[in-house]
Each structure stands twice: as C-alpha cells, then as structure tokens.
Amino acid sequence: MKTLSNRQIAILTENGFEEVELTSPMQALKDAGATVHIVSPQKEKVKAMKDHDWSIEIPVDRHVSEVSASDYDGLVLPGGVFNPDQLRMNDQAIRFISEFFEAGKPVAAICHGPQALINANVVRGRDITSYPSIKTDLINAGANWQNLEVVVDNGLVTSRTPEDLPAFNKKMCEEFAEGIHEGQKP
C-alpha cells in the first residue's frame, strides 16, 4: 500500500552526508509512494561519505533558497559529520528547518542530523536521540536525550546510527503519513 502517495518530502543535505542515511530513507519514502526532493545549499549535486571516504554524488532538485516548508509535507535530515555542521551554519537551511516545526510538520533526523535542530532552536523539552558524540550538545540545548534505536516525539523522529535505519524508516513513514502534529509547534 502506498501510504505516502500524496506526500512531498524534502531531504535537506549538504556535502558530506553519510550515504546510507540519505539513500535508505529516500528509498523507503519512494517505496511508500512519496515524491522526494533533494534540497541543498549546493546548486547541482551533493557528495556522500561512506566508510570515511567520499562516495556517490546525488543531483540536487531544489536550492534551499527556492523552497519553504509550505512546499512539503515532511523533512528528512541525514547525518554524517560534515553535512549537519555545514547546515547549522547556513541561515537559509535553519530557516527551512524552523518552518517545518512552526507548521507542525513531521521531521526525521538521524545520527548527527539533529545538530542542525539545535541551531533551529527546536530541541528544548523534546525527547530525542542521536549519534552518541552529540548527546551533550543536545542535552545542553535542552533536549531529553535517550539511548534508543528510534525516538518519536510529536512528529519528530530521531535515530542514532545506520544500524537503526529499519526502525527509523518505519517510524518516519508512519509520522509522515499522519501529517500535521500540533505538538511539533514550538
């Protein structure tokens, strides 16, 4: 059953995302019937990392300056070390992320992806997980960090590592199918 056939989902990324943390959720979303766009501050393509080396390139569908949360039903933030660090320093990316929370739209972030949520000021009081190395950053920003394979809090789905992708993808698709979550709004 194509539970997301009427949904448009944005995957916001920069260069240096962890390959499988973008490709696996993207495939799960497409398999569920969603239309998926790669959104980036880069104009043409973004490059992945795999096993600490550069790997595949993926075409960018939309530049972050050309989009808003009103164009999409949900947002995915893949991890990787470089990707979220670059996104969190980009005002357009932070604006785009913040708009999803203001609209109550679901957001899914894995591994280091939640780092960008800190700069968007949307983690205070939220149950969340992440790659363990950013646990303290999230706690210092007011999040309730949990060491679980997937944590769901009013439309916010987070996971720790690529090993958690099956649980992450399942919960991400469920939350995106549910749509607006009033508790997501700051």
Catalytic residue annotation: 111-112
Residue 31 DSSP SS3? helix
- The whole-angstrom separation of Cα 37 and Cα 30 is 10
115-138 burial by CB neighbour count: b if 16+ within 10 A, else e?
Answer: bbbbbbebbeebbbbbbeebbebb
22: number of Cβ within 10 Å = 25
